[in-house]
Amino acid sequence: MEEKAFNAAVGRRIREARIRARLTQELLGRQAGLSRGSITNIESGTQAPPLYRLVRIAAALHVQPAELLPQLLPEEAAGLPAQYAADVASVWSDSENLKDAHGQG
């Protein structure tokens, strides 16, 4: 998956979660410590949130950060910049560890 498609997929997932949570972009921004404009840009895929911001957005939406990432196998992250690929691999590993710990693997 290319970087642009990845950012768009993350933005769609954030928007869907925000709508499910019945939050406006303004309110989500306030709860996550971001401006409404940043939320707009992230949801449209024109701005990629750093991992720490993604965690803050997820917390404001009451979801796990991994739920905001597209379903990528680590090998599918190869087309992404190195930091994104490393983040995907880290989140994937953490989610597998959680599944194992809770008997869902």
pLDDT in tens, 3-34: 898 899 999 999 999 999 999 999 999 999 99
Q: For residue 39, count CB atoms less than 10 angstroms from its CB and return exposed for 0-12, middle for 13-18, buried for 19 or more.
A: buried
Give the global pTM.
0.70
Closest to 47 in 3D by CA, of 13, 4, 16: 4
**Do 9 and 43 contact (CB within 8 A), yes or no?**
no
Structural domains in the chain, CATH included, are: 3-101 (1.10.260.40)
